[in-house]
A and B are shown apart, each in its own frame.
Chain A
Amino acid sequence: MLEGAESLRLWGETLRALGRSPGAVIGGGLLLAILATSLLFPWFTAADPLAQDLLARLTPPCWQEGGSLAHPLGTDNLGRDVLVRILHGSRVSLFVGFAAVLVACGSGILLGLLSGYYGGRLDSLIMRVADVFMAYPFMLLTISVIAVLGNSILNLILVLGLSDWVTYARTVRGSVLSIKEKEFVTAARSVGTPNRVILRRHIFPNVLSPVLVLGTVRVANIIIWESGLSFLGMGVPPPMPTWGRMLAEGRVYITDAWWLVTLPGLAIMLTILAINLLGDGLRDALDPRLRNIPR
């Protein structure tokens, strides 16, 4: 098991390594800025994302002829402000992304720990179910389940999270298989420490690093999937604005209003780029640390 001071030292090293990576600094900074904007913008503007101004419908962004500073990124077909809708959409995407990853992480870690530690029939059963989930066409699974349960934020989080547990479970299981043979685990077992205590105190902290890297990458994937589901009309129910639904609605006006299909997509891309940059940095920072884990 990693002792407290040792654990703190390694996390400190990781943070220093992250600070040395320009990609991670840019990605982390960008993600922080996006998160802060998404959380704090209601303090600076009370604009309603659903407020319609039919006289100002399809107004272009302010830098284009016909645009105005009243609607910096233009308006949609109902005269709703694109910037305000993108800001509100960011809350949905980020919340669903992080929450679904928590669900996936939680279920994946638990099943991976049980599967790797206890082995035998339980391991076989969990891994066979994982095989089935791996082969199930992911998008079709989520659409089928949303069609059955109905589309709400909670259902979306549960469906996206529970569809994505396999990668975590397999990663954790792999780590547990090697860690459970280490001396500190054998020693704990030989003095009669109960299995759940060994799992919680000795094994769990040592499988967190790969899960952290994986989780960062998967947040990006989940945000893309959520916007894809919203694009198909299976995401968060209307009238709440989401990036995916903005793209789907804007597609109808692609010949007259380029900003409706471009700007929400740019918002998704920037967010994913920030997460990917941070994920790359984290992976590079944690890799040497993984090699240093006591064996």
Chain B
Amino acid sequence: MARYILKRLWHTVYVAVGISLISFFFIHLSGDPVLLMLPPDASKEEVETLREQLGFNDPLAVQYLRFAGHALRGDLGVSLVHRVPALDLIFERLPASLELAGAAMLFALAVAVPLGILAAVRRGSLLDLGSMLAALFGLSMPHFWLGIMLVLLFSVHLGWFPTSGRGSFAQLVLPALALGLSLLAMFARLTRSVMLEVLGQDYVRTARAKGLRERLVIGKHALKNALIPLVTVAGMQFGFLIGGTVIIETVFAWPGVGRLVVQAIFSRDYPLVQAAVLVLAVLFVLINLLVDLLYVLLDPQISYGGGS
């Protein structure tokens, strides 16, 4: 187990190095940040002095190694626009992104798992057909459009929820619903198909043959096994969500990391973009590691020892 965790931590390191390399070289091709930092009427000498001061005249490889050396000491640079450490800005915005992603995920799982189980148990019923049709529609709606529709209905026409901002529960509802509905659709379909597969297994038939109550058969025998693929997909989706809420954050003026990075990309704020992408990618890998470790709790047959 310890060996497996070490291996996965090594995986995190090389992913972080890869991500930092890609973002470093791409972002540095996008233009000269010094021109953005100085007033438009700055002289050539002023531009040159600042470029020298910030080390932008050094070869790209040297600049990258300097960035990597600082990153190892926890220093991901200072935002060119906000003039504060990039990591501080990210950690200031990260709770908002985690809150939104977490709320969307909770809502989706809370509705999708029971719905998927019911659809599987009552296969072919009106509930099954109706919920799977609704799920198909849910999967087909871009979440930002759904967000706009929710604003149109619940904010503009009914006046129940505010259109934007963060701070109260009411402000969280619409963005979380918009993000969560497509996840709900995905999880409901997945739960149904996995449950159908599990319900056809010998051990479920044996449990039924032993006279166990249906609720126990589904809750104890079937669901536990059906949870493994669901946990995998939910974990991956949570990782994607943290960096993928950019458009929803824009629609609802949600002050998360995604919106911060998009603004940083537009203003060529290199250090902030690099730092944010790095933090989000490492979070993604760590969440996946956590999911892998969760398997052991869900299924004692899975062992990460001995190279298996």
List residues of A whose CB falls within 8 A of some B CB.
Answer: 128-129, 131-132, 134-141, 143-145, 147-148, 220, 224, 227-228, 231-232, 247, 251, 254-255, 258, 261-262, 265, 268-270, 272-273, 276-277, 280
**In the complex, A49 Cα to B294 Cα: how many Å?**
53
- Complex interface: chain B residues within 8 A of A135 (CB): 15, 19, 239, 281-282, 284-285
**B residues 126-145 in Cβ contact with A at 8 Å:** 136-137, 139-142, 144-145
CB neighbours of B258 from chain A (8 A): 139-140
**How many angstroms between the C-alpha atoms of A217 and B146 in the bound complex?**
20
Given contacts A136-B22, A143-B265, A258-B152, contact A276 B246 (CB under 8 A): no
Known contacts A136-B281, A139-B247, A144-B265, then 18 further A-B pairs from the complex at CB < 8 Å, ordered by chain A residue: A132-B22, A134-B284, A135-B281, A135-B282, A137-B244, A137-B280, A138-B244, A139-B258, A140-B243, A140-B280, A147-B266, A228-B142, A261-B149, A262-B152, A265-B148, A265-B149, A269-B137, A272-B140
List residues of B (46-66) whose CB comes within 8 Å of A's CBs.
none
Q: Are B246 and A139 in contact (CB under 8 A)?
A: yes
9 closest A-B pairs by beta carbon, nearest first, are A137-B243, A132-B18, A265-B145, A272-B140, A273-B140, A135-B281, A148-B30, A224-B142, A135-B284
* A140 pairs with B261, CB closer than 8 A: yes
A266 vs B265: C-alpha distance when bound (angstroms): 30
Instruction: Please tell me if the beta carbons of A247 and B144 are within 8 angstroms of each other in the complex.
Output: yes
**Which bucket holds chain B's interface residue count?**
35 or more
Instruction: Please judge, given known A-B contacts A140-B243, A220-B140, A265-B145, whether A132 and B152 are in contact too, CB under 8 Å.
Output: no
List residues of chain B with CB within 8 A of the CB of A270.
140
Cα-based distance from A232 to B249 in the complex (angstroms): 11
Give the chain B neighbours of A220 by CB distance below 8 A.
140
Cβ–Cβ < 8 Å partners of A138 in chain B: 240, 243-244
Across the interface, do B137 and A145 meet the contact criterion of CB distance under 8 Å?
no
Nearest chain-A residue to B250 (Cβ)? A232
Give every chain B residue within 8 A of A262 (Cβ-Cβ): 149, 152
**Residue pair A261, B22 in contact (C-beta under 8 Å):** no
For residue A148, give the distance in angstroms from its CB to the closest CB of chain B.
4
The answer on a CB contact under 8 Å between A247 and B145 is: yes
Give residues of chain B (1-56) contacting chain A, Cβ–Cβ below 8 Å: 11, 14-15, 18-19, 22-23, 26-27, 29-30
Which residues on B sit within 8 Å (CB–CB) of A258? 152
Please, could you name 12 A-B residue pairs with CB atoms under 8 Å apart, sorted by A?
Answer: A132-B18, A135-B281, A140-B261, A143-B262, A147-B266, A148-B30, A231-B250, A232-B262, A247-B148, A254-B151, A269-B142, A277-B136
In the assembled complex, the Cα of A143 lies from the Cα of B27 at a distance in Å of 11
Q: Chain A nearest CB: distance from B9 CB in Å?
A: 14
C-alpha spacing A140/B275, complex, angstroms: 12
CA distance A268 to B144 in the complex (A): 12
Note all chain B residues with C-beta closer than 8 A to A228: 142, 144, 247
Q: How far apart are the CA atoms of A220 and B182 in the complex, in Å?
A: 13
Minimum CB–CB distance from A143 to chain B (whole Å) comes to: 6
Nearest-Cβ distance from residue B18 to partner chain A, whole angstroms? 3
Q: Which of A139, A232, A254, A265 contacts B244 (CB 8 A)?
A: A139
B277 interface residue (CB < 8 Å to A): yes
